[in-house]
Every structure is written in structure tokens, then in C-alpha cells.
Structure 1
């Protein structure tokens, strides 16, 4: 099993990944929305949150599929949009989470529901995705699902996170995330993904045993 000694080492590993039609927010710059130093900002965001999580531990690991065009692609943080950056910093008691884009902050429906649910969790929750980058169609900023060949090029992150954070419960957001978590050797609880109208059902089920 892979083991990264620090949040910085982990983030550096992600930044080294390059795949066709996959935007890597830790090394790539979006010519439409990003600041010139956007990758460095997103690396710093992820490093700060992961270091805090490694120090504090997490009772639960919530797993989505990929970084969203309106969320993690912009912030570098899974299931977290720009509207939730300050909230995320407060949650992990870490300062200095910054926007990497210009213009007004962008909200994502999934991130809105995720961060609405987090305060009611029984313990601290770490957010991650089965595929840690943003998949898109050629020349397009919209989302697409990752392929099996793409995820096979990514190190085994989920089992490492579960072990390193001493996770007691894994929650899969949607059937795709459930399948990915099981392939990684985890035993997740399935809940309805909060996107595409699933928010209310997600909120009523995510904290149930």
C-alpha cells in the first residue's frame, strides 16, 4: 500500500499526474477562470486540509466520484466549492485557504448539500473522490465520468486515507462511488448522491447507520 509521509508529499504526487482530457488542478491552469498561480494555491489548499486531517483524524470518509467543474476543479478540495472555502478552513481549524480563480465565487449544488450535512455528523469527516482530478470532454469545462483505465493510473489513495485518518465509517455518494470504494477494499455505506436533485434524500440518509 502506498504511504505518503506528509500532506505536501501527497499533493506533490497528485501534481505529477498528467492524463488526456483530465484537468489536474494542482498543476494545470485554466485559461478561462484561473489566476496565474492557481495550481500553487490549490496545492496549498489541499496540503493545509490534509495536514490538519492527518493530525486530527477523521471518523468518516465521504467518497464522491471526481472533482466537479464548479467545485474541486476550482478549489483543489473534493466536494468543496468557493462558497465553502472559509467554512472548510474553520472546520479543520486551518487558515489560508484561498481562491485560485478570478471573478465572483462560484457555487456547486453538491458542495452546498455536503457542507450543510457535515455539522450533523457524529465525528469529523474527510472528503475525497474515487478519482482525484477533473475529467472533461475535449476542450470543454463540463463534467464527465472517469474511465477504468484512468483510475488504474492513480495510486491507491482511498485505502491509504482510511488507514491514515483512522476512519471508522466510509460513505459512498452514489452507486459509482460505492463501486469504486469496494474495488479499493473498503466497505462503504451507500447514500444518494446530492447532485441532480438528490440533495434532500442525501440529507435524510447520510447520518443513518
Structure 2
């Protein structure tokens, strides 16, 4: 199966997962799935990318755009090569920003790369009945995300893998006991300075 066909199959699987009162599915919206498809197809046509694996979709980012660590502000303003060439084709709703997305794409822009961004749980965990909130994914939800994490790494065979935070590290260690990867501080909740320093060190040696 080609990368393009594998991406289409992955998107179909993502879209088919039912939402619940405490778990949103951005990819059930074809416009958000379309954003993700543009991004993944862009990466598929290039050499193996650096992969950054986060925790879960956030209500200010992926839940609105379909792309991990990416807010509507990112779609509008980010100068990265992907957005510069695809901005007019992407669906954007609102102007809201996500701090974590600012830091992740800021690092990517500073080093001239387009990373593969994904989440251990690709869906949006939120408080019951409150989709404009975030919560930590449960172990059962992280298990739900495992087949999608495996699929994305199989499709792209990244040049290196970075776990952004402990939940991503937990999923990667469970799925790939022998995988060499680096864990960095998640940029949220006061972790931005350490995240940027750790990523600069990784990108300097890659």
C-alpha cells in the first residue's frame, strides 16, 4: 500500500471512532480531517521527518484544526513551509491560539523543519459535557490511541522520535520497548523554557 493510500485508510479509521460525552473526535468533521490529510500528504512526499508525539488533542488546538499542536492562529500566521504553501486550502475557524502549539511550531520554524506531530491519544479528552475543556487521558484512552500511533509511525518511519511529556513516553515504551527515543518536557504549564532548550539540543545533533 502506498503512503497516500495508508494515510487515507488511517483517516477513515479515525473518523469512524464515535465521540462520547467526554471524548471528542475532530476527524468526524471532514473539514478538519481534510486539514490533517493535507499535512500528512505533504510529509509523505519528503524524507523521513522528526516525530514529536504529544499527549492528546487540546480544545484550543487539534480539536479546532485536526492537526496536533496546531491552533487556528497557527493556520493563519505560521511561516512554516507547510502552512506557507497550503494556508489557502485549509479550513480555519476562529482566531484562538494554543500556547503549546506556539512553542512547538516556533521551534520547528527556528530550525527550518516540518516535523511529524501526533498524539498518543489522537482524540480530545474533556470534562463530561464540556467540550471547551481539557483533561488528562485515562490509561484506557491511551490504549485506544495505540493502533493509531503504531499506524502513523509505520507509515512515516521517522528519522527520530521525541516524546513530548510523560503520557507520550508511557505509550511509546509500551508499544516499542526497544525503540530509542528522547523524552522532553511538555511546553504547557510552565515547561516552555525547558522544552525549547531540550529541542534545540536534539535538533543540533540530528
Flag whether TM exceeds 0.5 (same fold): yes
- Say whether the 8 Å CA contact 2:43–2:49 is kept in structure 1: no
- Tell me whether 1:173 sits opposite 2:174 in the alignment: no
- Tell me whether 1:94 sits opposite 2:86 in the alignment: yes
User: What number of residue pairs does the alignment pair up?
Assistant: 193
Which stretches of structure 1, 4 residues or more, deviate above 4 A after TM superposition? none
Question: 1 or 2, which has the higher helix percentage?
Answer: 2
Alignment partner, residue 31 of structure 1: none
| Residues 132-151 of structure 1: pairs in structure 2 closer than 5 A | 132-140=122-130, 141-151=132-142
TM-score by length of 1: 0.83
Unaligned runs of 5+ residues in structure 2 are none
- Say whether the 8 Å CA contact 2:10–2:148 is kept in structure 1: no
Deviation at 1:155, TM superposition (A): 5.2
| Aligned with 2:147 (options 151, 156, 174) | 156
Alignment partner, residue 202 of structure 1: 195
Counterpart CA distance in 2 for 1:75 and 1:65 is 16
| Aligned with 1:188 (options 174, 181, 188) | 181
Question: What SS does the corresponding residue of 2:136 show, helix, strand or coil?
Answer: coil
Question: What SS does the corresponding residue of 1:94 show, helix, strand or coil?
Answer: helix
| Residues 115-126 of structure 1: pairs in structure 2 closer than 5 A | 115-121=105-111, 123-126=113-116
Unaligned runs of 5+ residues in structure 1 are 28-38
1:144-183 Cα offsets, whole Å, 9 max, x none, are 1111222323452223323322312111111221111212
